[in-house]
Structure 1
Amino acid sequence: MAASHLFVCIILCTYYSVAHGGDDDEHGFVTVLTSRSFQPEAAECSTSRVNLEPSRATAFVPLAHRHGPCAPSSQTSEMPSFTERLRRSRARANYIMSRASKGTVSTLADDDDANVTIPAHLGGSVDSLEYVVTVGLGTPAVPQVVLMDTGSDLSWVQCAPCNSTACYPQKDPLFDPSKSSTYAPIPCDTGACRNLTADDYGDGCVTSGGGSQCAFAIEYGDGSHTRGVYSKETLTLAPGVTVEDFHFGCADDQDGSNDRYDGLVGLGGAPESLVVRTSSVYGGAFSYCLPAQNSEAGFLALGGAPSANTSGFVFTPMRVEVATFYVVNLTGISVGGKQLDIPPAVFSKSTGMVIDSGTVVTELPNTAYSALRTAFRSAMTAYPLLPPNDDLGVDTCYNLTGFSNVTVPTVALTFDGGVRIDLDVPNGILLEGCLAFQEAGPDEFPGILGNVNQRTFEVLYDVSHGKVGFRAGAC
C-alpha cells in the first residue's frame, strides 16, 4: 500500500454534547438502548462524530480501538477474552502504581506552536482494549499499526528477520530495515545509547556487521518483554509531515501477550518518547480523543496547545512523575447528580491519578471506590447484579440480557481547580455491562484514570505549562 494512502481524511461533523463543569445534573440519569451500547457492534467504521478544531491541527492521523472495524486491518483471528484483556490491564495498572508511588517530579519541556494530527482507532483488529494509530516508518514509508501509550516512553516495532518463536504473529508484514534507505542502528558508544541505559531501557551491546550496536530491553507490567536494537529512522506522521531522526526499538525478541499490533508509540514524559524527542517542533504538547465505540474514529494530535484556541477546554494542574507518568489530583466524585461524601483527606493522602491511555479500567483508592460502588449499585437496583469474578478484577457487573434499554446514573469526576468532567454515558462508565472502575489499594496509593473514562473527550497535555485539559464531545 502506498504511503499516501495510509492516512484517512477527517470528516468534521456536528458537535456531540457531553456535559462538563458546573453544578450537579438536574436528574442524573440517562436511558440508553442496549442494542447500541452493550451488545457487539456492526463491523462498520464511521468518522462522522470526530470534532477536531481546524485551528489546532495542520494534518490528521486517525486513532481507533484495536478491536474495532476502524482499526487499519480486518480481524482474522479470535480476540482474547474479556477476562484476559482485563487481567492484562490490571497487571499493567499494578506496575504503574508501584512505580508512580516512588516517583519525583521531572523537568518539563519547552513549548512551540507547530502541530500535526493523526487519526486514531480502538484496536479491535489487533485484539485489544487499547487504541492504535497508523504511521509510516522508513523510506519508502511502510504502514505500521502501533499502540498509543502515554504510560511508556520507548517506541518500537517488530523487525525482520524474526522467526515465529522469537516474535509474535502480527497482522502486517514485519518491518524490514534492509529495505529502507534511511534506517541506521545506533552505535553502542554514543550519547543516545548511554542515555538509554541511564533511563533503564538499555540492554548492553550487540555485535553485527562488524560494529557494536546499542541494544534495548523493555519489561512491561503484564510480564511481557521486548528486546532488540536501538535504531533511528524516518517516521511519517501524515503526508508531508516527517520526523527525520526518530529513535525507536527494532525488536527481534518478544515474550508475552502482545496481540497482533505491529509495535508501540511511547507518549510518556521521558527523553525517549515521541513527545519529548519532537518537543523542539511541537513544544511537548499533544492531545488525543478516544472514540466511545469500536466503529468510531478519534485522533492523536502533536503540538498546538500553547497558542491555539482552547476555549472548549477545562484545565487542571498536571505534573510528571518518574519522568514517564502524567499525574493529576482527583478531589471528588458524583453519581446520579449527587456528590459522594468522601472525606477530602482520602484524596489528599493519595499521590494523585496517573492519566494512562493503555490502562482500561480506572483504579481508585479504597475509600473512594467503596463510596462509588455503593452509590452506583444503589442506582442500578433494577438490573441483576452478577456475582463477583476475581478473574475480571471488577466486582460490579450486570446481566442486561432481555432489557431493551437501561437507565444509567451519570458519573462525574472533579479535579484540582474545581474542574469537573461528566463521563460519557454509558460508554465512559460501563464496559460490557461492568462498572469501569476498580479498587487500587490503600488510600495512600496512586490511582489511574483509565481509557474507558476518557472516551469522547479530547485530553490535552500542555506539558510546558503543567496542565491537562478536557474538551467534551470531541469524537
Structure 2
Amino acid sequence: MVSPPVLLFIVLCSCYYIAHGGDEHGFSVTLEPRRATVSVPLVHRHGSRAPSQNPDKPSFTERLRRNRARANYIMSRASHGMASTRGDDANVSIPTHLGGSVDSLEYVVTVGLGTPAVPQVLLMDTGSDVSWVQCAPCNSTQCYPQKDPLFDPSKSSTYAPIACDTGTCRKLGDHYQNGCTDGGAHCGYAVEYGDGSKTRGVYSNETLTLAPGVTVKDFHFGCGHDQRGDNDKYDGLVGLGGAPESLVVQTSSLYGGAFSYCLPAQNSKAGFLALGAPSANATGFVFTPMRHLPDVATFYMVTLTGISVGGKQLDVPPSAFRGGMIIDSGTVVTGLPHTAYNALQAAFRKAMAAYPLLPNGDLDTCYNLTGYSNVTVPKVAFTFSGGATIDLDVPNGILLEDCLAFHESGPDVGLGIIGNVNQRTLEVLYDAGRGKVGFRSGAC
C-alpha cells in the first residue's frame, strides 16, 4: 500500500487586475502548473471536468440555502461540544474536482469500491465521518437518481455486512448508530446532514481502491438503502473528519492520520486529496495550531487573529475571533462572527466602489459586472494564531458568482466556518498527530 506522494501546484494570484469573462465566476486567471505526479483527480461537482453534466442543476439560491443549513447544523453540533508503521513514501494522492457533474458547489473524488473495483464519485467532506454509497437494491422512492449505476454488493467478492453483535458495530458512534437491521443480523447506520438530507442502511466492510495498486482492506462504510433530501447526482460521500469512522482515522496506521488537499479554482482544473503528511518536502507551508472541541471529534478548528483587505489590516479586536473557526470542505461560503464580517464587508465594498452593487443578491455583497471588460478585485488575507498568513486566491477564492463569498455567522462569542471557496488553490494540511494545520499557496 505504498505509493509516491502526489502534489500538484499552481502559481497563486497576488494582484488583481483581471480580465472579466473567463470561468464560471466571471473571471479568467492564468494557472501555471509547477509540478505534477500520479494522482487521483478531485474536481468541482458541477465542473466541466466532472464525469457527467446535468442541465437541471439546482439554482445558486438553492445551493446557498443548503450551504447555510449545513453551516447552522455544524455550529449547532460544535457548540454542543463546547459545553502501523508508515514509510516516508507511504502517501497516496487522489485527484479532486469541482463537482459540476453532480450539481454542487462542493468537490468530488473518484475511487474504486469492491472486487472488482467499481468507480464511485464521492463528495469529499471534512465535516463528517461515515463514508457511504447508494447500494442496490434501492428503488426510486428510497434512493435519489445518481450519475452512475448503484453499487451492487452482490457482485463484489470482498463485500461483507458487519454483524450487529460485533465490537465494530458497538464502536459505531452514537451519532451514527441505527440499531440492528435485516432481522437483527446486521449493523445499521444512519447519518443526517445539516441541509436535511439523510442516509441509512447497513454498515459494511469492503475493499477500497484509492489509486492503481493502492487498496484499503476491510474499509468500514455505509451501504445505503434509504436516502432522503435534496441530494444531487453523486454516488456517495467520503468522510474525512476526525472520528474513528472516517477514512483518515481508519487508515491512520498507514498514513499517520494526516492528510491534505487542494481544491481547484476552476471547473477545468484538477486538484488532489493526499493521505499522509509530506515527509521530505514541507517547503512553503505556514502552520497554525489545530484546536479541538470537547466531545466532538469530527471537526478541525483553527484560530483566526486578523483579516486584511487590499493589504490593509482590518480594525477587529482579537475577542471577535475567540470562538474559533472550523475548516470545512463541504461548506461553500465562509461564516464570520458579527464584528469581523461587518469590517470585511465595509472594506471590500469600499475597494469595489467602482462597480454597481446588486440590491437583492443571494449574498449581501453582490455586483453587476455586466459590460466590464476588466475588474479589479482587492486581495484578502487571513492571519492565524502563531502568525501564519495566507492570501486568498483572486478572484476565485473571494468571489462566488460575482458575490463576496462570506456571510455573518452570528455573535462574536460563537464559532465561524472557513468554507471551500476561500480554500481554493491552497494546499490545506491537517496533521492531527502534530496538532497543526498547514497552508501552502498555489498548490493546484
TM range (shorter): over 0.9
The residue aligned with 1:81 is 59
Residues 129-181 of structure 1 show CA distances to partners (whole Å, capped at 9, x for unaligned) of: 00000000000000000000000000000000001110000010000000000
Mapped contact 1:384–1:400 kept (Cα < 8 A): yes
Letter paired with 1:457:
L
Decide which moves more: 59-68 or 372-381.
Answer: 59-68
State percent identity of aligned pairs. Answer: 72
Mapped contact 2:91–2:274 kept (Cα < 8 A): yes
Is 1:68 the counterpart of 2:47 in the alignment? yes
The equivalent position to 1:343 in structure 2, one of 292, 298, 317, is 317
Is 1:309 the counterpart of 2:309 in the alignment? no
Letter paired with 1:16:
V
Residues 57-86 of structure 1 show CA distances to partners (whole Å, capped at 9, x for unaligned) of: xx5111000000221x22133111001111
TM-score between the two structures when normalised by the length of structure 2: 0.94
What displacement does 1:52 show?
Answer: 5.2
The residue aligned with 2:197 is 224
Aligned residues: 436
**In 2 relative to 1, CA 159–356 (structure 1 residues): closer, same or farther, beyond 3 Å?**
same
Alignment map for 1:11-410 (pairs within 5 Å): 15-18=10-13, 30-37=16-23, 49-51=32-34, 59-71=38-50, 73-103=51-81, 113=88, 114-196=90-172, 198-207=173-182, 212-305=185-278, 307-321=279-293, 322-348=296-322, 350=323, 352-389=324-361, 392=362, 394-410=363-379
Mapped contact 2:6–2:36 kept (Cα < 8 A): no
CA distance in 2, matches of 1:379, 1:53: 36
What displacement does 1:49 show?
Answer: 4.6
Is 1:423 the counterpart of 2:392 in the alignment? yes
**In 2 relative to 1, CA 110–385 (structure 1 residues): closer, same or farther, beyond 3 Å?**
farther
The residue aligned with 1:23 is none
**In 2 relative to 1, CA 33–41 (structure 1 residues): closer, same or farther, beyond 3 Å?**
closer
What displacement does 1:345 show?
Answer: 1.8
CA distance in 1, matches of 2:200, 2:34: 38
**In 2 relative to 1, CA 252–49 (structure 1 residues): closer, same or farther, beyond 3 Å?**
farther
Mapped contact 1:141–1:236 kept (Cα < 8 A): yes
What displacement does 1:53 show?
Answer: 7.0
Please, which runs of 5 or more residues in structure 2 have no aligned partner?
A: none
Letter paired with 1:235:
L
CA distance in 1, matches of 2:316, 2:79: 22
Mapped contact 2:13–2:393 kept (Cα < 8 A): yes
Mapped contact 2:258–2:430 kept (Cα < 8 A): yes
What displacement does 1:207 show?
Answer: 2.2
Letter paired with 1:356:
D
Please, which runs of 5 or more residues in structure 1 have no aligned partner?
A: 1-8, 20-28
CA distance in 1, matches of 2:443, 2:428: 9
What displacement does 1:38 show?
Answer: 5.5
**In 2 relative to 1, CA 161–48 (structure 1 residues): closer, same or farther, beyond 3 Å?**
farther
Residues 199-242 of structure 1 show CA distances to partners (whole Å, capped at 9, x for unaligned) of: 3201111126xx70000000100111101000010000000000
Mapped contact 2:179–2:188 kept (Cα < 8 A): yes
CA distance in 2, matches of 1:286, 1:10: 12
What displacement does 1:51 show?
Answer: 4.5
**In 2 relative to 1, CA 75–38 (structure 1 residues): closer, same or farther, beyond 3 Å?**
closer
The residue aligned with 1:6 is none
Residues 408-449 of structure 1 show CA distances to partners (whole Å, capped at 9, x for unaligned) of: 111001001111101000000000000001000001110000
What displacement does 1:344 show?
Answer: 1.7
Residues 281-332 of structure 1 show CA distances to partners (whole Å, capped at 9, x for unaligned) of: 0000100000001111100000133x33101111111123310000000000
SS of aligned partner of 1:417: coil
**In 2 relative to 1, CA 51–96 (structure 1 residues): closer, same or farther, beyond 3 Å?**
farther
What displacement does 1:459 show?
Answer: 0.5
The equivalent position to 2:425 in structure 1, one of 443, 448, 456, is 456
**In 2 relative to 1, CA 469–111 (structure 1 residues): closer, same or farther, beyond 3 Å?**
farther
CA distance in 2, matches of 1:207, 1:446: 40
Letter paired with 2:404:
L
CA distance in 1, matches of 2:91, 2:386: 27
Mapped contact 1:62–1:297 kept (Cα < 8 A): yes
